Amino acid sequence: RDVLGSRGLGDVYKRQGIPYEIIYDEHNGIVTMNEFDSIKRCNFLITSKEQFCDLFKAESSDFDDEFFKENALYAHIGITGSNDYSFIESINADGNQLIVSRIDIYAWPKTDDYACCNMLIKLKKSDVENISHILVKQKYGSE
């Protein structure tokens, strides 16, 4: 399912726009099945430890004050069909807007099950310091 080639978690993507690093990929379960109805699909730009703790209701030694001195996190939390997956095509900043281009791939056969579709993406804080809005552009495809 690696639609981006041989890249994996921790690789820095510099395709277009601002560089980013996927540090937590989908289907790892930040959101539990019971939380789907209340969350649906959310996108956040996290620039402090306090924001991280508030969003995820937990602390992490990986995302402490030291981490957020130079870094920010883009978090996508959502739901996908159990056989579906998605990936980021590019991340750009335009004025006060973060523009995330993502591609959702619909896999076959279809099932009625759902899974978490989560991503945590590390960005340089200096690349996103004026961001107040997030625009997610989605493209759709199938296997």
For residue 89, what pLDDT band results from cuts at 50, 70 and 90? confident
User: What is the pLDDT, as a whole number, of residue 132?
Assistant: 93
Round to the nearest angstrom and report the end-to-end CA distance of the chain. Answer: 10
Q: Structure pTM?
A: 0.73
Q: Report the percentage of the chain scoring pLDDT > 90.
A: 29
What's the rounded mean pLDDT across residues 60-73?
94
- 21 by DSSP, 3-state: which? strand
